[in-house]
């Protein structure tokens, strides 16, 4: 068997064709959870399943891109630090904000939400990409782990 060396080539795509709602937000800076909620609520509006998204930030807290990490079921979404941080590492992100929705309409973090957030925060510390917030979207409200002191 002949040994070969392989390399991975990453290509990022523009978000505008996929998310036209972001077309006029080419330089979005995050200063508060409300900024994230106002800009990205559309990604979770009227979903009947959970979606988990990771925003990549640069050192000035400008959103450089995003990854839809997981599309789940009615009440759960499979999330692992490997998938959350993979694209953030390749994009040379300084930090991340993660967010997901609760189709039930209840913005309160579940025990699973708290556990995965702790795991993501610890993983981020190891690789040098801090998790600045975890935002849960629910109908007309939201919950921010940073505002609640849960990070």
**Model pLDDT for residues 75-108, shown as the tens digit of each residue:** 667 789 999 999 999 999 999 999 999 999 999 9
The structure tokens listed for 6 are 């392989």
Cα–Cα distance for residue pair 56/111, rounded to 1 Å: 25
Cα–Cα distance for residue pair 70/34, rounded to 1 Å: 23
The structure tokens listed for 24 are 């006029």
* Global confidence as pTM: 0.86
Domains belonging to the chain, first-starting first, are 33-103+122-137 (3.40.140.10)
The fraction of the chain above a pLDDT of 90, given in percent, is 72
**Model pLDDT for residues 60-74, shown as the tens digit of each residue:** 999 999 999 998 776
């Amino acid at each position: 068997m002949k040994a070969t060396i392989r390399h991975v080539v990453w290509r990022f795509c523009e978000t505008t064709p996929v998310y036209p709602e972001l077309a006029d937000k080419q330089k979005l800076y995050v200063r508060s959870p409300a900024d994230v909620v106002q800009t990205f609520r559309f990604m979770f509006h009227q979903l009947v399943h959970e979606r988990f998204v990771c925003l990549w930030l640069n050192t000035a807290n400008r959103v450089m891109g995003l990854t839809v990490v997981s599309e789940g079921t009615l009440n759960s979404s499979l999330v692992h630090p490997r998938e959350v941080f993979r694209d953030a590492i390749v994009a040379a992100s300084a930090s991340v904000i993660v967010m997901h929705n609760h189709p039930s309409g209840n913005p309160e973090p579940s025990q699973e939400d708290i556990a995965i957030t702790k795991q993501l925060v610890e993983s981020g510390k190891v690789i040098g990409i801090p998790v600045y917030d975890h935002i849960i979207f629910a109908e007309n409200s939201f919950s921010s782990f940073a505002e609640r002191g849960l990070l």
